[in-house]
């Protein structure tokens, strides 16, 4: 879905000007309310929580921000960044830095997604500091003979296995060979695991992984930019084969997926564009026996929602780009009433 570039930006400013805010206004309905909890982010992506319940967010200025005692802290800084788009005049837009961060106990794992395809790794941090202090996995080189395949990149949508031994992460290196990768936490080895293309799945751009209880993994595929061809695939991690898949009717470029209960998931529709931020919806998808998931509106509409996760308070936390990407207008909101 994305056009990758090899040019880099070294951000000169490492200060997040985020802060707490009150409610956005009226409740969406009698049971659902939306509150802004973090402001001033640039192209925020992954949202997760530490074991202590601290909100953790990736920012395109090469920062991972942690909300400690209701105050934003630049926990890891100095990640490489790049841009998804440029023109002949040298103008660059849509900055990308670290795209996903999850906690394995007290260790923070971050995708070093601001490097070129074939150079990206996962970085492990045991304390606050600089990106250069992280312990890295290997990078993943090209997995096909296609000259356009430069290796895996834009690593995003990370999750941990139930036993904490394995990280699963989505690769965006080459649309002709979509991969979900796995990383062994102990050995720091990153390897291709699940190939949509090798299993007849034409929808590309895996965006989010969600670990299930029965040694299976749900993967959200965003599809082509601006088109409603998103897909959720359930993979058997033992056989490395898909066991079920559901299209998301009318949903344009879903990027966030969070488990509610049973066969119900929250979905963040980004409605992707490389030229502007579009309005996207927060939806509830029920995965049944049919090929199409049942998709219901929550009434929540945001400016370019990206990733989502349920917090320890059972609210759904969603990162959104804001009215304009590459500006410090991104935020994280918390939505109440979607999970008991």
**Could you report the average pLDDT of every consecutive run of 10 residues in the chain (340 residues)?**
29 37 38 92 98 98 95 97 85 93 97 96 98 98 92 96 97 86 98 94 94 95 93 97 97 98 97 94 97 96 98 97 96 94
Q: What are the residues whose beta carbons fall under 8 Å from the beta carbon of 52, sequence distance 6 or more?
A: none
Using a 10 angstrom Cβ sphere, with 0-12 exposed, 13-18 middle and 19 or more buried, the burial of residue 22 is exposed
Tokens of 148: 């356009």
Residue 18 phi/psi, 5-degree rounding, is: -75, 160
What per-residue confidence (pLDDT) applies to 89? 84
| Contact residues for 84 (Cβ-Cβ < 8 A; gap 6+) | 2, 3, 4, 5, 93, 94, 96, 274
Q: What is the pLDDT of residue 12?
A: 33
List the structure tokens of 83: 């841009």
Give whole-number Cα distances, 96 to 35, 219, 329, in Å: 26, 22, 15
123 to each of 70, 128, 131, 321, how far by Cα in Å? 26, 13, 8, 24
pTM of the model: 0.91
Residue 118 is predicted with a pLDDT of 95
Which of the following CATH numbers is that of domain 8-336: 3.40.640.10, 3.30.420.300, 2.120.10.30, 3.30.70.420?
Answer: 2.120.10.30
R_g of the chain, CA atoms, integer Å = 18
Residue extents of the structural domains in the chain: 8-336
Give the model's pLDDT for residue 29.
52
């Amino acid at each position: 879905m994305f056009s990758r570039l090899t040019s880099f930006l070294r951000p000169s400013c490492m200060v997040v000007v985020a802060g707490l805010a009150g409610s956005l206004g009226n409740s969406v309905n009698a049971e659902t309310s939306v509150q802004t909890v973090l402001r001033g982010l640039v192209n925020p992506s992954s949202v997760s929580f530490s074991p202590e319940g601290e909100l953790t967010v990736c920012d395109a200025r090469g920062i991972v921000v942690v909300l400690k005692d209701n105050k934003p802290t630049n926990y890891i800084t100095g990640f490489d960044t790049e841009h998804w788009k440029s023109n002949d005049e040298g103008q660059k837009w849509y900055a990308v830095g670290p795209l996903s961060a999850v906690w394995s106990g007290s260790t923070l794992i971050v995708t070093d997604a601001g490097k070129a395809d074939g150079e990206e790794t996962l970085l492990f941090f045991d304390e606050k500091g600089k990106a250069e202090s992280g312990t890295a996995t290997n990078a993943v080189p090209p997995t096909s003979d296609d000259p356009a395949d430069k290796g895996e990149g834009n690593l995003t949508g990370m999750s941990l296995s139930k036993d904490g031994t394995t990280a699963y992460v989505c690769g965006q290196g080459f649309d002709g060979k979509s991969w979900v990768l796995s990383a062994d936490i102990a050995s720091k080895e990153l390897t291709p695991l699940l190939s949509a293309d090798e299993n007849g799945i034409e929808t590309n751009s895996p965006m989010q992984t969600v670990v299930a209880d029965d040694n299976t993994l749900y993967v959200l595929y965003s599809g082509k930019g601006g088109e409603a061809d998103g897909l959720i695939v359930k993979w058997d991690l033992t056989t490395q084969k898909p066991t079920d898949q559901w299209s998301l009717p009318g949903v344009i470029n879903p990027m966030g997926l969070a488990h509610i209960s049973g066969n119900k998931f929250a979905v963040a529709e980004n409605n992707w564009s490389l030229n502007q931020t579009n309005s996207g919806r927060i939806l509830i998808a029920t995965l049944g026996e049919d090929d199409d998931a049942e998709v219901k509106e929550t009434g929540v509409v945001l400016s370019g929602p990206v990733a989502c996760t349920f917090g320890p308070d059972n609210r759904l936390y969603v990162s959104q780009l804001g009215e304009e990407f590459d500006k410090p207008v991104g935020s994280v909101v918390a939505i109440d009433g979607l999970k008991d």
